[in-house]
Amino acid sequence: MQGTKLEIPLWLAKGLHDSKRRIISVELPKIYKEAWRTVFSADATVVDLHKLGPYYYGFGSQLLNFDNPENPEIAQTLLQTFISRFRHIMDSSQNAYNEDTSVLVARLDELERALFQAGQKGLNDFQCWEKGQASQITASSLVQNYGKRKFPEMDG
Amino acid sequence: MAGERAAGLVRELHRAAGGHLPPFRVEELRQALEEMRALYEQNQADVSEAKAGRTDLIFLIRFRHCCLLRNQRCILAYLYDRLLRIRALRWEYGSVLPNTIQFHMSAEEVRCLRDYGEFEIDDGTTVLLKKNSQHITGPACKAPCTHCKLSAWLRTAVQLCLISYQDAADKQS
């Protein structure tokens, strides 16, 4: 079985990987290789991270477990990409009030979308407070929205 | 691929947005635990062989161990996430959850909520402790119905898996 090339899930690759025993070696997915890393360093803000694999940062961080000689460069690219895109995410999430944000989040990866949502929540809470609604007792939003999206989830 | 049932449980929960609690998948959970039991027994047998000289089995043993850990992670995530959702629902709805929600809960979950109410958080902590503890804890379920018996079995099975897995994982590292 030596020299066989297989696609396996990350959890299995992590479990089988051993720095001392060399059971498996891991090939980097192309977006973490040098060619794409150059694209990211040129201008990270225009890249569609949702299309390229919606867990770019999370998965990229996990890749660092495999003792690849390119790890320092990969780590650096992940960090710089995040830094250059973060400002835009923060600004847009803090300024989009009561509007359709689908265009703004379309090219964000899942981590960035979670950040965007956090920003939106902060914005909405602030607006609510500014209007004097923060001290009003209202029906629980969990109760109000519960089961509203039930039909797609009822797989049986 | 191993661990698919357990991962499926997590996926269904992940898709259910807005704090929605899907039905408790007793059968799928039972199958995932059954898969763990089978993997564990196969490894037990092969470990003796490997010690007796068959070092070619080490890779296979390691593979099964990975599958077991994955099952364990998925099952724990499933149970823990449900716990968090039930706790949030308890806070928002008060002490009487609507029947539509209770219908989706296992007998275990309903009992915890009813009997332990404000101690549900302690129960949550107990679940976390089981992950790292070396003891079997928790009251035995005394209700006579089949569903309760199954839940009690499930709980014991999960505890046993957790204990032996933590054991094996500790020895490996």
Q: Give the class (CATH, top level) of A10-131.
A: mainly alpha
The verdict on B4 touching A (C-beta cutoff 8 Å) is no
Contact B59 A23 (CB under 8 A): yes
The verdict on A21 touching B (C-beta cutoff 8 Å) is no
Using CB atoms, pick whichever of B18, B67, B93 lies closest to residue A149.
B18
Q: What pLDDT does B15 receive?
A: 93
Give which of B56, B73, B62 is closest to B9, Cα–Cα: B73
What residues in B contact A143, CB-CB < 8 Å? 92-93
pLDDT digits (tens, 9 = 90+) for A90-124: 999 999 999 999 999 999 999 999 999 999 999 99
**Which has the higher per-residue pLDDT, A132 or B124?**
A132
Contact B70 A11 (CB under 8 A): yes
Q: What pLDDT does B142 receive?
A: 31
Contact A16 B15 (CB under 8 A): no
Amino acid at B172: Q
pLDDT digits (tens, 9 = 90+) for B78-123: 999 999 999 899 888 887 888 888 889 988 787 776 665 443 343 3
Count other Cβ atoms within 10 Å, centred on residue A85.
21
Q: What pLDDT does B55 receive?
A: 87
Segment A12-23 mean pLDDT: 87
What is the pTM for the complete model shown? 0.76
Extents of the domains making up chain A: 10-131
Could you list the mean pLDDT of each consecutive 10-residue stretch along chain B, which spans 173 residues? Answer: 90 91 93 94 93 90 95 94 91 86 85 56 39 32 38 54 53 51
pLDDT digits (tens, 9 = 90+) for A48-59: 999 998 999 999
The verdict on A9 touching B (C-beta cutoff 8 Å) is yes
Contact B65 A15 (CB under 8 A): yes
Long-range CB contact pairs, A71-79, < 8 A, 24+: A73/A34, A73/A37, A74/A28, A74/A32, A74/A37, A77/A32, A77/A37, A77/A40, A77/A41
